[in-house]
């Protein structure tokens, strides 16, 4: 099983540790991916030193210190991605409280997509950085498009090594960085009941996706070998005996289109 996650825009900067080592990241054996990471690290450092850096990166003055830190990105301390990424989804996933076996799976099989590094495993050591996939760096196309060309061959091969389900918790530009294999992929789509009808959820969607990822990582590997089994794990978590209040519907994928793991929250 692979779980695809978006990053968090907010990050916890490591106070100490060795700097980023590109050879220690997932897909480091692919020369094109490593070259792309090297190029973008250099571009970000140079852009962050410009007078108009905040405007180019699309952030406000309150984040000036984070943009300034981008200038020394390759020298700054790095730490495991599950420590650096913060925010609603990662709080809900709560890596630190997972059982030991689940943490091992998470470090290897949970992939976090990144505007800066393309994709990293949850156990990869990375620095904090300020760059959104929606930013437009000078003389470059959109970062989602730019990364898709460079990531697709390597990630296609990576996904072939694991024939299990792919659970996609990404959205927006991060989802555009790589199209997971359609026939065995589901997106995680969150709804809430209002006046007896399903409505799309935005506020609780990231939180719910983090909880779904946690349930799947905590389940024994033998229980998530197929999409149907993965959906059953999430459904049991919403049963009267489970920790969550939700219902689940699996929309099967087709050869050309990912399916959907639809998580429906009750009326509030």
Domain locations along the chain: 2-265
Q: Are 190 and 208 in contact (CB under 8 A)?
A: yes
H-assigned helices in 140-224: 143-160, 172-175, 205-218
What's the pLDDT score for residue 172?
Answer: 84
Please give the structure tokens belonging to residue 224.
């998530």
Q: Are 168 and 241 in contact (CB under 8 A)?
A: no
The sign of the dihedral angle between the CA atoms of 94, 14, 150, 154 is: negative
- Quick: pLDDT tens for 142-169: 999 999 999 999 999 999 988 899 999 9
Q: What is the mean pLDDT of residues 166-192?
A: 95
- Quick: pLDDT tens for 49-105: 999 999 999 999 999 999 999 999 999 999 999 999 998 999 999 999 999 999 999
Structure pTM? 0.96
Q: What is the mean pLDDT of residues 185-211?
A: 92
């Amino acid at each position: 099983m692979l779980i695809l996650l978006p990053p968090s825009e907010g990050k916890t900067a490591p106070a100490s540790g060795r700097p980023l080592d590109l050879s220690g990241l997932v897909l480091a054996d692919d020369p094109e991916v490593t070259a792309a990471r090297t190029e973008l690290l250099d571009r970000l450092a140079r852009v962050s030193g410009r007078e108009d850096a905040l405007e180019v990166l699309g952030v406000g003055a309150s984040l000036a210190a984070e943009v300034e830190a981008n200038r020394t990105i390759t020298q700054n301390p790095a730490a495991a991605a599950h420590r650096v990424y913060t925010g609603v989804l990662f709080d809900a996933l709560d890596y630190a409280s997972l059982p030991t076996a689940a943490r091992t799976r998470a470090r290897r099989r949970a992939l976090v997509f990144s505007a800066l590094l393309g994709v990293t495993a949850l156990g990869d050591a990375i620095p904090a950085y300020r760059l959104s996939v929606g930013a437009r760096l000078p003389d470059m196309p959109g970062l989602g498009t730019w990364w898709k060309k460079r990531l697709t061959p390597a990630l296609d091969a990576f996904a072939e090594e694991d024939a299990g389900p792919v659970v996609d918790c990404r959205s927006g530009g991060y989802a555009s960085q790589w199209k997971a294999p359609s026939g065995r992929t589901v997106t995680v789509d969150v709804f809430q009941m209002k006046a007896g009808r399903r409505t799309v959820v935005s506020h609780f969607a990231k939180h719910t996706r983090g909880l779904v990822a946690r349930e799947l990582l905590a389940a024994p590997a033998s229980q998530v070998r197929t999409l149907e089994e993965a959906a059953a794990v999430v459904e049991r978590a919403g049963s009267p005996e489970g920790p969550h209040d939700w219902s689940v519907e699996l929309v099967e994928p087709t050869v050309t289109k990912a399916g959907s793991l639809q998580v429906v929250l009750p009326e509030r």
